[in-house]
Chain A
Amino acid sequence: MLWACQRPVSIHVPSLELVVPNNYVTAGNDIAVQIINNEKYQGKVHLVLKTVFTYHVFVFDLKNKVGEYEVDGKYLTESGIVNCWLMVDNVLVSEKNFQVRASDIADPIKLFTGPNSIWVNDFQETMVVALPKDKYGNAARELDSVEINLQMPDKIIEGEFIKIHDQLAFKKLSSGQTTGKILAGASAMSANSKEQKVEVVPLWPKVLSIEIVDHLPYADGRQFYQIKTNTIKDDRGNMIPDGTHVVFSATSRDRKLEYNSYTIDGVAKAYIRNPEIKSVWKILGIVGNGSIVSKPITIEFKDVIKNVPRILSNTHFLVGPIESYIGQYVPDGTEVEYYDGQKTTVKETEDGKVDFHLPMDYDNFYIKIAGHIFR
């Protein structure tokens, strides 16, 4: 280190000239340096090579007028400028530089992609970047080429040779029109890279429609009817991925319902419970927070109550058995609201029946079932 910092001092030093390779030296290759000894100086000289990361010192014994000395390539593995200093008795007598270039690209070529998923709208881009290095870890030579090969979802693209600039070779990709995987690989000379992957993902759905698969058209508040969407695709015809959230929303007068579901093979299904009151519902399918909406469909539910016997005994007010549309009892758990003239009680039917205490006000009591009032 001290030698490298020293300037020539005014003492008699032999006139020696150092000759180094003019052209690039490939990393790892042996080189020969010449020392021209016009004064036929006899003695030891130190040759200091300063590479990118370290110093190497060689000691030569000068005897002849011109001496050629070999430097092993193992000292010249780092690409970059190598400073050579010829020193005699700690005095710098000659200074030269030469450049070490990277050797051939070695396995494996580091390959990166990003972002790793892009929308299939040809708007978003991804990039494939190769960082080739030689066997010593030096970045590959500028303007060398790396072949980048791509397997697109719909076709294979031949390899393209990309020149290396600033230590890397890159290629921008658009997503194309088809969803799927883009596989990328790089090769150069005898070196290759690992496979990299970019997912081209479907866009947001564009067309949404819904249909009712089957339903019992009676407002029993119990049965479920199935509703489902079409096979939802984006505007490129790509099916949207499994697990996409879909909401089925319906309104009827002041009541609203929203049922969650998600797609499997592009189709979302939900089971919606029949209402408890005779009503007509308008149903929509929604993806997202309201921008993708289907056309509405209408569904109607008829009254489920056919007959409501009511008996006032000495001790109780008996309601039922409440008859439904095909002569069956209303389902267990059907709520019956009873206003006795002073307060309201709600009970559930069992076997179509329910009993209450006697009314407090015989003129003003009533029961309410499925929206119907019976006095």
Chain B
Amino acid sequence: MDRSRQYYLGSVLFGLLFHGTVMAFTMENTYDAYVHMFFADHYSNAWFETWNYKWYTGFTMTSYPPLVHQLIAILSKVIGLKAGFLVCGLAMVALFIRGIYHFSKIWVNDLSASYACILAVLSSSFIEALHLFGQLPSLMGIALLLNACPEIYRWIRDNNRFRFYTGISILATVTAAHHVSTIFGMVFFVLPVMGVAVLDICILDKGGVENVRFMHFVKKIWSLLPKAVLLGVSVIAITALIIFPYWYWSKTDPISQVSIPHGSRANFLEDLNLGLVFFVIPWGMMLFFLPGIFYRVFKKRNIFLGLSFALALLLGTGGTTPIPKLLLGETAFNILTLDRFTIWATILALPFFGDLVFNLVEGNFGDYIINVFGRLSHKIVVFCLILGLLISSALIINIGSFRPLQPDSIDPDPIVNFLSVDNHDDWRYLTLGFGDQVAWIATQTNALSVDGNYHSARRLPELTTRAVERLENSKYLGMEGLGALQQFLGVPEKYHLKYIFNNDKFYEPLLFFYGWTKLIRLENNIDVWERKDVLPLPSILPKKEIPKIQKYMWGILPIACLIICLLVNFVARRESWKSDTLPRYHNKSKLKYWTYGLWLIIVSAFMLLFLIRFLFNSNPHKNPQNLLEAYYNHIDFKEFDDAYKLYDPNQDYSKEQFLLELSLEDGLLASYAKLDEIEIEPNFISSDTYQEYQVTSHWITGVKKYSNQHNYKLIKKNKQWFIEKSEYEKKLPPDQFLRIAEVDFYNQGRRKATTNTSIREDILDRPEVITTHAQLVKRNENYHIVGQLINVDNDPAFISIDVSLYDVNDEEIIQYSTSDIIIHNLLPKESTPFRIDFDDILWQMNKTDFPEDFDSNQKTEMHWPRKPVKFVLNLRSMVTDQRLYKYYGLEYSASAKSITGDIINYGNQEMAIPQILTAQYENGITKWVDVNYLPKGIRPQRSKSFNIELEDLKKIDVIYSGTSIDLLSNSANQTQLRRVLPNSFLDKTNEDHKVFINALVNFKN
């Protein structure tokens, strides 16, 4: 066996060992692995069923080529989903290395091709795609495509008809695995291979590449045109046929999903972190060899590959230049993820990278270094190359250690158990803060979720009109992401959504103020939140059916392609063991080796500059700006030790004191917010060593965007800036020990231990709640419903409100519900104002894109299709046993424009997030209601101040005041109830405004 074959087989073995071992550890932390397992799980349970109910109120499986998923499904019957994914991954690795070897042999000599195999195992782009992104189907596509290229080459060059069949069978399998690989692969891989095949025929005819002229080539192309047409038509036919249901779905049910941002489309020079992930890492060590690669790919024989390579490299740069967008067009640019082009570019370059390394190790390049610098220098260079490859591989595999890409692993069993008992899976659920583990949870349960992890297939307009990848990580997507989540939380009845599994404290205020109740904490520390009064899923759910023939096609053709491919290529192939005598026409590289040195210096200089800039920026004590940015960064990521180090070490301020002051108070900003940006402005600069700054920090919280201002005193000592500690509150509560009597409630639920539906005796009557008044008002071209309601019953009530707006023809325009501008849980005889806004859902009605700069706090003009002139409001109530905390008071004074005061907590629990609802009245009727949140919590026997701006009521127009016909209570008219309780409550008030308080309390006992 010759050396090239030895290296090739050794690479396969090395690749299987290396990637197999690593994948066992990295698989569960990748972005996409669980999604592919989820798809496989579906096929495992229902092979021919194309509709999947589990995500997004249902989606079609024909939205993704099925072969890889079906293979995992088959394997999972024996070894389980995870092992099935692993085995498929190993098969892909072996195919990939084989593909690299045979593809490389088209362009370089056998030994160089074998070096390319070794480099392929440690290829940065391959490692990133497999162990970071988990992109098994696309890698399988490219692996198969690489194996198809030599077949096509031999078919054209040697006129070997059998090679056509082997090539087409592999291309068919590529389509079944990943259709994008076929479509783009034809351009980037197959076309250059066809070109070089034709060129090789010319070279054989003319006896050398230097004798081949353009016209020779054109004539040869013309004579081989039928072959090209045959190949093109065949590829189109198989691509259309094998995944016909995919095309059918794309045509008949086009989804208008707005573009979702992806880092690969960014300008890498502006965002260096994204440049690192999507450019520097995939190219890895190849960056140092780019001149040599460019030189080789643009040799006469390799020109087609060179053009393909250059195009792929350029497209992979994303938004760094405007060229990719011009070439792809706006739509394709915003839909495709451009990192695939970088991966393809690196793969196209691998043969030449292998050739360069071969030359370095044992070829001319190596000889040059030995001659000029000595043998030792040569060994050092080779050693550095190997070390660089290994270190870059190790760093990429362990990138999660530096910046976690996923939340900690979550045990799915408690969640699955919860959903399977007591008919909890009769409703939909949602997960928050699970990362990509949502897909793994979905494989373990039969319950349905409103969210999912494959946005191309979703149809809910609440999601398709927003650039939100998933609801479950909406906090990272700013107010747009949270706006999407708020809709689901505000109107869960629409989706039969009842349970939320929350793994992120950030969402707690949103859940609480939107009327959700924390039910229990599971054994895996996941909190279960429940929403009352949601109907279960109907027994028959809507489903998009496709013709039966398509279901059979989808279930049979992809696997059939694979079997035929295996048969044709391995079983029936008679020539498989004959050596392949491909002509190689390589010229000696005329590029002076010193250019490599120059390039190395340039790349090293860039990296050094980047490092220096990184170090410079990361030195927090360098200047006040760095200091304050670093401080807020540490606080945002809860790196309190690092935050403490930014304080003046000479002050009498211990770390324990610092941590104590941080931990004492809960609050929206302390525990439930994510820093969005900060603005730093100097307040007072007295000298070079003492300055005062005002920092305006903008935080994203679950309930609203929040801005906070804080003043800092900074001092400079020994050329380093530090923060001077600020005064902590000195007020002490008067009492050391408190005795507080409480009332608690308890709903038994089903009193008999049975799995049957609840008996009538266990169902409590709905509490009687009355809307004292409600109005349709208009403010800045937006319409709102405002009003007040009271719980007249003797039971505590959970309240939700549904309202429908009607136009002048009594036709319904829109229907919506309350969000957080209400107190959802009321004690007996307690009242609350409320306000219902329609902004968020109007986007779906208009089918317009969510504006990039939408800010719910700002005045935004909405386009109403028809003007609302009246409404019908229905209050729904249920008895609640949620623990309610009411031991607080208000002290305030009001002017015409604002209310200033304190909230005092006289009880024994901390009010973690106080909410202030301000109702403004005109003629005794509510005209406007506003909501505010205090940024900090209030501990027992303490207070926090607030200042609220009042709305100018002249800017608000009353369109319609609700009458007794319009105001329903539990779908019934309120008149009878009012007759039963005459004079018990007031419909109007004699005040101008009133303040109501609500609070999220984390009960300690």
Residues of A at the B interface (CB closer than 8 Å) are 112, 115-117, 119, 121, 123-124, 194, 196-197, 201-204, 222-224, 240-246, 248, 254-264, 269-273, 275, 287-292, 331-333, 347-350
Contacts and interface: CB of A to CB of B under 8 A. Distances in A.
Interface in B961-992: 979-981, 983-986, 989
B761 interface: yes
Contact of B827 (A245, A259, A271): A245
Nearest to A246: B829
A244 B891 contact: no
Contact of B761 (A196, A202, A333): A196
Interface stretch (B69-77, B201-209, B471-479, B724-732): B724-732
Given A270-B906, A331-B731, 20 more contacts: A116-B764, A117-B794, A117-B795, A194-B761, A201-B793, A203-B984, A204-B984, A222-B734, A241-B828, A243-B745, A256-B890, A256-B893, A258-B889, A261-B886, A271-B887, A271-B906, A273-B904, A288-B790, A289-B790, A289-B985
6 closest cross-chain pairs (CB), A and B:
A333-B731, A259-B889, A245-B830, A245-B827, A204-B984, A271-B906
Interface in B392-440: none
Given A243-B745, A289-B831, A289-B989, A349 B730 contact: yes
**Which of B985, B995, B997 has the most chain A CB atoms inside 10 A of its CB?**
B985
21 contacts: A116-B765, A117-B793, A117-B794, A117-B795, A244-B827, A257-B889, A257-B890, A259-B890, A260-B888, A262-B743, A270-B887, A270-B889, A270-B906, A272-B906, A273-B906, A289-B790, A331-B731, A332-B730, A332-B732, A348-B727, A349-B730
B886 A244 contact: no
A237 to B, nearest CB: 16
B284 interface: no
A262 B886 contact: yes
Given A245-B829, A273-B906, A291 B983 contact: yes
Contacts, number: 147
Contacts of A203: 981, 984
Contacts of A332: 730-732
A194 B981 CA distance: 32
Contact of B891 (A256, A269, A350): A256
Interface string B875-900: 00000000000111111111000000
A333 B743 contact: no
Q: Chain B interface secondary structure, helix, strand, loop or mixed?
A: loop
Given A259-B906, A289-B989, A245 B828 contact: yes
Contact of B732 (A197, A224, A259, A333): A333
A29 to B, nearest CB: 33
A289 B772 contact: yes
Of the candidates A116, A201, A270, A273, the one having the most CB atoms from chain B within 10 angstroms of its own CB is A273
Given A203-B981, A273-B891, A288 B829 contact: yes
A350 B893 CA distance: 27
Contacts of B893: 254-256
A301 to B, nearest CB: 13
A258 B830 CA distance: 14
Contacts of A222: 731, 733-734
Q: Interface range on chain B: under 10, 10 to 19, 20 to 34, or 35 or more?
A: 35 or more
B981 A204 contact: yes
B985 A288 contact: yes
A259 B903 CA distance: 10
Nearest to A292: B984
B710 interface: no
A223 B734 contact: yes
A332 B734 CA distance: 10
A203 to B, nearest CB: 7
Contacts of A272: 889, 906
Contact of A255 (B731, B794, B892): B892
B981 A350 contact: no
A256 B892 contact: yes
A89 B752 CA distance: 58
Contact of A243 (B765, B796, B889, B980): B796
A251 B980 CA distance: 33
A241 B983 CA distance: 19
Given A262-B827, A333-B731, A257 B984 contact: no
A115 B793 CA distance: 13
Nearest to A118: B980
Contacts of A261: 886-887
A121 B981 CA distance: 9
Interface in B827-867: 827-831
Given A203-B981, A271-B906, A289-B989, A115 B886 contact: no
Given A202-B794, A258-B995, A121 B829 contact: no
Interface in B714-765: 727, 729-735, 741-743, 745, 760-761, 764-765
Contacts of A270: 887, 889, 906
B943 interface: yes
A208 to B, nearest CB: 11
Contacts of B827: 243-245, 262
A332 to B, nearest CB: 5
A302 to B, nearest CB: 17
B829 A244 contact: yes
B980 A350 contact: no
Nearest to B892: A256
B941 interface: yes
B104 interface: no
A264 B741 contact: yes
A112 B765 CA distance: 13
Contact of B730 (A112, A245, A290, A348): A348
Contacts of B62: none
B915 interface: no
A244 B729 contact: no
A260 B903 CA distance: 11
A291 B986 contact: yes
A112 B760 contact: yes
B732 A291 contact: no
Contacts of A223: 734
B248 to A, nearest CB: 46
Interface string B988-1005: 010000010100000000
Interface in B541-600: none
Contacts of A194: 761
A245 B986 contact: no
B771 to A, nearest CB: 12
Nearest to B765: A116
A117 B765 contact: yes
A255 B891 contact: yes
B788 interface: yes
Interface string B346-359: 00000000000000
A242 B889 CA distance: 20
A289 B996 CA distance: 12
B871 to A, nearest CB: 22
Contacts of B889: 248, 257-260, 270, 272-273
